[in-house]
């Protein structure tokens, strides 16, 4: 269907990059054409509905990629920690350690949110559900797993903002390092996956220790 020199997946990947860098309004047809290597008219051949249809297609494409690269690894039969690490690796790569942002998140912050509500909320819901299930598999109670999944996604999105705002990768990179232990804390006992990490990382000094006094 696409140009002989460009598969539909490649086309959607390039459009995705443009939209997530510049946002909906900033991604002009000229930029999209330049990024895709096609003429503007050719883009309208593929997407008669214009930019809106492109975003819709890109979001569906992103959903499919997330499904394969992020969510499916969360649903394998490997030990929970291993599955989580796999997700975080993919995430760090896709977000370039917090320097590239998340298109659904960017869209959520502007009025375009209301035109793409379904795709955006469905993607985040699916993400949350997968992480929740992983944490349940790891041995956490459902309500705790749900909360931690929310906290995790929340912090990932916040880390992207902070990383780009401060111009340094520390927030995102630090979060990636801390998340496994924080999410799985207290979950590695009493279930069939008793595979603690080979080397025990240093305990994070942030949220990791809070409530210690009350609990003790």
Give residues in contact with DNA (CB under 7 A): 1-6, 27-31, 37-42, 44-46, 48, 50-51
Q: How far apart are CA 33 and CA 11, in angstroms?
A: 10
Mark 106-145 with x for binding to a copy of itself (rule: CB under 8 A) and - for no binding: x-xxxx-x---x--xx--xx---------------x-xx-
41 contributes a contact to a copy of itself by CB under 8 A: no
User: Which CB, 39 or 206, lies closer to a copy of itself?
Assistant: 206
User: Residue 144 contacts by C-beta under 8 Å, 6 or more apart in sequence?
Assistant: 135
- Cβ at position 168, least distance to a copy of itself in Å: 9
Per the listing, tokens 């039969």 go with 77
Which of 188, 2, 207 lies closest to 80 in space, CA to CA?
188
CB of 195 closer than 8 Å to CB of 81: yes
Question: In this chain, which stretch among 3-11, 49-57, 61-69, 163-171 interacts with a copy of itself, using CB under 8 A?
Answer: 163-171
φ, ψ at 5 (rounded to 5°): -95, 5
Q: How far apart are CA 39 and CA 92, in angstroms?
A: 33
Task: Return residues touching a copy of itself (CB under 8 A).
Answer: 21-26, 101, 104-106, 108-111, 113, 117, 120-121, 124-125, 141, 143-144, 147-148, 150-151, 153-162, 164-167, 171, 174-175, 181-183, 185-186, 189, 203-216
């Amino acid at each position: 269907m696409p140009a002989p020199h460009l598969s539909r997946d490649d086309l959607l990947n390039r459009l995705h990059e443009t939209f997530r860098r510049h946002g909906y309004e900033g991604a002009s047809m000229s930029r999209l054409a330049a990024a895709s290597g096609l003429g503007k008219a050719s883009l309208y051949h593929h997407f008669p509905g214009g930019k809106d249809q492109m975003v819709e297609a890109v979001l569906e494409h992103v959903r499919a990629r997330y499904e394969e690269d992020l969510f499916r690894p969360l649903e394998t039969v490997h030990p929970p920690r291993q599955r989580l690490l796999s997700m975080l690796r993919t995430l760090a790569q896709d977000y370039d350690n917090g320097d590239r942002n998340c298109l659904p998140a960017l869209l959520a912050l502007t009025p375009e949110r209301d035109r793409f509500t379904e795709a955006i909320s469905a993607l985040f819901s699916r993400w949350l559900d997968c992480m929740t299930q992983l944490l349940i598999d790891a041995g956490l109670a459902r309500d705790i797993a749900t909360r931690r999944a929310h906290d995790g996604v929340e912090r990932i999105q916040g880390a992207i903002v902070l990383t780009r705002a401060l111009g340094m990768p520390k927030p995102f990179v630090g979060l990636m390092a801390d998340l496994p232990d924080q999410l799985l804390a207290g979950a590695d006992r009493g279930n069939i996956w008793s595979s603690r990490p080979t080397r025990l990382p240093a305990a994070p000094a942030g949220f990791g220790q809070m409530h210690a006094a009350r609990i003790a």
